[in-house]
Amino acid sequence: MKNIHCPIPYTCMTIISGNEAKVCNVGHDIFSSKIDENSNLQNLWYDNIKKKRQEYKNGAIPLYCKKCYENEAIKIKSRRMRFLKFNKHFKFDETEPTLQYLNINFSNICDLDCLMCSSQFSSKWIKNDKELINKFSFRSDVKPYLKINKIPYSFIDQIKINELVFVEIKGGEPFIDP
């Protein structure tokens, strides 16, 4: 078996606001259409990123991993380096990946409109962004988030809780999301 560059593609999934799935929250690798009530976790995570894992097996650095390597080249600690440090907590091999680390935004429901935020992560910002989007071009990236986005229960029910080692819950504000 070849040396694994990073455990993330074999153990992790990130679901960001807007119900989009990614291998890692650092890369720009959204690999699904919006997660909805018909989304299948098996197809989404286990099957859909087989190609990305194959790049690792072939010794290549996948496009979604380039940011970590760019950071490391300029001596910035990358997410890959942090994961390699607690690699011993994961039980995996290249032939049988299991979802063990889940980084999930259940919704963008939030009661705060913090200055550094946007409607992508705070529903309180939706009204502000609707006003600002036409005035400031730097706000145009929030167009897909001008509504409340929630992960459907039918998708959440597919997560094998007993396989998870780490769960990172984000929002919005997870404590006000019903």
C-alpha triplet 20, 118, 63: angle, nearest 5°: 40
The reply to whether the predicted model has a pTM over 0.85 is no
Confidence bin at 1 (pLDDT 50/70/90): very low
No. of helices (H) and no. of strands (E), the chain: 7, 4
Phi first, then psi: give them for residue 21, nearest 5 degrees: -100, 140
Which tops the pLDDT comparison, 27 or 73? Answer: 73
SS3 assignment, position 15: strand
Is residue 59 pLDDT above 80, yes or no?
A: no
Question: What pLDDT is stored for residue 164 in this prediction?
Answer: 92
Is residue 62's pLDDT more than 80?
no
Contact by Cβ (8 Å): 11, 94: no
pLDDT exceeds 90 at position 141: no
Lowest mean pLDDT among 54-63, 103-112, 123-132, 143-152: 54-63
How high is the pLDDT of residue 51? 67
Residue 161, C-beta contacts closer than 8 angstroms, at least 6 positions apart: none
To 10 degrees, the CA torsion angle through 38, 48, 92, 168? -50
Sequence-ordered list of residues with C-beta below 8 angstroms from that of 127, at least 6 positions apart, any chain: none
